[in-house]
Amino acid sequence: MRIDIISVVPELLESTLNQSILRRAQEKGLVEIVVHNLHDYAHDKRKTTDDYPFGGEAGMVMKCEPVFELIEKLQSERDYDEVIFTSPDGITYDQHEANRLSTLGNIIILCGHYKGIDFRIREHLITREISIGDYVLTGGELAAAIITDSVVRLIPGAIGDEESALTDCFQDDLLAPPVYTRPADFRGWKVPDVLLSGNFAEIEKWKEAQAYERTKQLRPDLLEKLE
Ligand code: SAH
């Protein structure tokens, strides 16, 4: 898989995407993440990528030319399955969308900044608009990092224990059961006996019941969706 991220503040992405599981996934060749500095595609000496909005609104708007030039260049080099724009008015990002994106070959993520981007980019280049929640960020970089992180960890081989990604929260619309590690007794707070029993059928049953209970308590809306 290849993920191209387009940004006017690439520094915001570089350290996030080059640590831990994401770094190892790239080293193993499971994913190639390429961050592009949109300023490199500006036409003037000052590397301007934004301009004043028509109609006299406050704030600056990202210009068409550098974005079209860069995305069309990338599209001439390989096929892309989605050209994503991070936007507070997009579809709300969730695990189902992360699963879907992780099965794709190549994607582009365009990060907005300032007041937003010229609407013609959204009409003529973008195939999917994604919001990470009902709040407004200063730019799309953190949203792109969230999307990339959640997608890469689903690629087979990215996480050591492959099962582990499948048993996470939301994978079957249930929250994950509690997890524990040693010591079995910490300050008198004991790990549930069943987990120490070695009886794997009982352990599985306990985990399922816990997942269901926690979902009922904390996120009843997920159970309604299931039904
Ligand atoms: N004026 C715009 C907000 C601009 S915020 C509006 O009201 O819709 C600047 C950029 O940050 C956006 O273009 C978008 O790329 C990114 N952004 C802000 N909030 C976001 C969110 N919740 N999800 C994804 N991207 C977001």
Per-residue pLDDT tens digits for 53-78:
999 889 999 999 999 999 999 999 99
How far apart are alpha carbons 213 and 227 in whole angstroms?
A: 15
- Per CATH, the architecture of 172-226 is what? Orthogonal Bundle (1.10)
Could you state, in order of their start, the residue ranges of all structural domains in the chain?
Answer: 2-152, 172-226
Q: What pLDDT score was predicted for residue 174? A: 94
**pLDDT score of 162:** 64
Asked whether the bond before 183 is cis by omega within 30 degrees of 0, the reply is: yes
- Whether domain 2-152 has CATH 3.40.190.10: no
Pairing of strands 82-92, 128-131: parallel
N-to-C CA span, the chain: 34
Mind listing the pLDDT tens digit of every residue in the chain (227 residues)?
999 999 999 999 998 999 999 999 999 999 999 999 999 999 899 999 999 999 988 999 999 999 999 999 999 999 999 999 999 999 999 999 999 999 999 999 999 999 999 999 999 999 999 999 999 999 999 999 999 999 999 999 999 876 688 788 888 889 999 999 999 999 999 999 999 999 999 999 999 999 999 999 999 999 998 77
How far does residue 33's CA lie from ligand 1's centre (Å)? 22
User: In the structure, which protein residues have their CB atom closer than 6 angstroms to any atom of ligand 1?
Assistant: 86-89, 111-113, 115-116, 131-133, 135-137, 139-140, 143
Q: Best substitution site from 12, 61, 62, 87 to test ligand 1's pocket, by max atoms within 8 Å of Cβ?
A: 87
